[in-house]
Each structure stands twice: as structure tokens, then as C-alpha cells.
């Protein structure tokens, strides 16, 4: 993905949605819609009962998915859907879910479904030996996070052990839409590249086409979550929107973001 996009001088647009939200069937349609309207890779979130990094929008969506009875074994349908639509399927999951499912079992099922890589926000390379071995066996990318307060030593460890890309958190704290993005992500991207990372993607707080264009001018990819999830929620921020309205809003928002991100270097 990155090689092809770099040849076109474009950053990658990575969009996030939790699987099972707003319901199992519409979730698959939503993932496909994102790919059809400009997302290059889809970060499929595994709903979790204690999402320490997630802000209120993603927490609400994840709770709806959990209430729908979604569990890790079902997510591979979503992986297949994204792959068949022509997108790159990623999974974002807290490590506890993968550990209890079985690391080797997960890697096998993920590879068989057409998966590309796993983003683990609460797993550091120092404690990821089992996953590093399994991902090597199954040819899966492993994406670790860095933040503005990461030391140079930490960046070096992450860069040496990550594959695919490094996820650079634009700021400390939970996910969510932000009105502005300061200069700290650009400095973090530069430091992470200096540590040896081939691709660095920025997420957490990117919510508009203008922000995506700004971040895409220096990052290898731009990750958008809450702004996309928000399109499928009612104004109360807790319940799912009417399916047709939500999917139409998701499509238009995805297109707008894609135009900004992919046009960042024009």
C-alpha cells in the first residue's frame, strides 16, 4: 500500500470503525462504503469493555457493538469484507482480547481471512515476543504506538520491532475529534523516522479534511476514527443513527476526508 501511494506522492488514508457497529450487517456495509469512497486501509476495531484509550464517541460505538453480542471470532467476516472490497484490512485491539483468543489461533485466522496487520495500543515490543513470532510466521504487520513523550530509546525499540508502520499518536490522551492540531505530531514523525521507521502514520484527533491535509503533508498516512464513527451516531452520541442516513453521511464524510488527505502534497 505505502509503496504504491508513495509512487503517486500521496499519504495513506486509514479509517477506523468498530466491528459490529451500528449492527452486524450494517457494520460490514459501512466498512465496504469506506473503501469505496476513498479509504486505503480500514482499521477494524475489536469492541472492548474497558477501552482506556478511547474517547466518548468510540466508547459509545463499541458499547453498541458489545450489546449486539459481537466477539472476536466474528471479526474475520469484516476482514474478508474489506479485503474483497479492495482495501487493506487492519485490526485494532487491546492485547487482552488477542491473548485470551490465542495468539497463534488469531494469527492463523487473521491471515486466512486476508488480514494485513494488527494495531495494539497497549502492547509494547518488550512484552510482545509471542506476537512478534506469530506475526513473522504468518506474514502479518505489527503496529506499535509512540507518543510525543516517547523517549529516543523507546522510539528506537518500536522502530526496530514494528512492521508495516508505526502509529504516532498526535497527542497524549484518549481518542476524539479536535478543533486544532499543533506541531507536536510533525516533530514526532521526524523523530520516529530518524529512529529507523520506514512508515509513520498519525492518528488521534484528526477529524477534518483540512487537518488531514496538514498531517498528510509530512506523515506517510493519516488515521481518522471518531469523525467517521460520529457519522453513524445520533446527536445524543449514544445511539445508532438510521442506517440509510448514517451510511450516506459516512460516504460523504469519507470522500471529503480522502480528498483532503490524498491531496496533501499537491
DSSP SS3 for 199: coil
- Catalytically active residues are 43, 54
CA distance 119 to 45: 9
DSSP state of 151: -
DSSP SS3 for 4: helix
CB 157 within 8 A of CB 125: yes
DSSP-assigned beta bridge partners for residue 146:
168
Residue 163 dihedral angles phi and psi, to the nearest 5°: -145, 135
Amino acid at each position: 500500500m505505502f509503496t504504491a501511494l508513495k509512487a503517486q506522492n500521496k499519504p495513506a488514508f486509514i479509517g477506523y470503525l468498530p466491528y459490529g457497529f451500528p449492527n452486524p450487517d450494517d457494520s460490514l456495509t459501512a466498512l465496504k462504503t469506506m473503501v469505496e469512497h476513498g479509504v486505503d486501509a480500514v482499521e477494524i476495531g475489536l469492541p472492548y469493555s474497558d477501552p482506556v484509550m478511547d474517547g466518548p464517541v468510540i466508547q459509545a460505538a463499541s458499547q453498541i457493538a458489545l450489546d449486539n453480542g459481537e466477539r472476536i471470532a466474528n471479526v474475520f467476516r469484516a476482514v474478508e469484507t474489506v479485503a474483497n472490497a479492495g482495501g487493506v484490512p487492519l485490526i485494532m485491539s487491546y492485547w487482552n482480547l488477542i491473548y485470551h483468543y490465542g495468539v497463534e489461533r488469531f494469527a492463523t485466522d487473521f491471515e486466512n481471512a486476508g488480514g494485513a496487520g494488527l494495531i495494539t495500543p497497549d502492547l509494547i515490543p518488550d512484552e510482545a515476543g509471542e506476537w512478534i513470532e506469530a506475526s513473522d510466521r504468518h506474514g502479518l504487520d505489527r503496529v506499535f504506538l509512540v507518543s510525543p513523550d516517547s523517549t529516543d530509546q523507546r522510539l528506537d525499540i518500536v522502530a526496530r520491532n514494528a512492521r508495516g508502520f508505526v502509529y504516532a499518536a498526535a497527542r497524549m490522551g484518549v481518542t476524539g475529534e479536535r478543533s486544532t492540531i499543533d506541531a507536536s505530531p510533525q516533530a514526532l514523525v521526524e523523530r520516529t523516522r530518524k529512529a529507523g521507521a520506514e512508515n509513520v502514520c498519525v492518528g488521534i484527533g484528526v477529524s477534518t479534511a483540512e487537518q488531514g491535509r496538514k498531517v498528510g503533508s509530512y506523515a506517510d498516512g493519516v488515521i481518522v476514527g471518531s469523525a467517521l464513527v460520529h457519522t453513524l451516531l445520533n446527536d445524543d452520541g449514544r445511539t445508532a443513527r438510521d442506517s440509510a442516513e448514517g451510511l450516506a453521511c459516512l460516504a460523504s464524510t469519507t470522500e471529503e476526508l480522502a480528498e483532503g488527505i490524498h491531496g496533501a502534497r499537491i
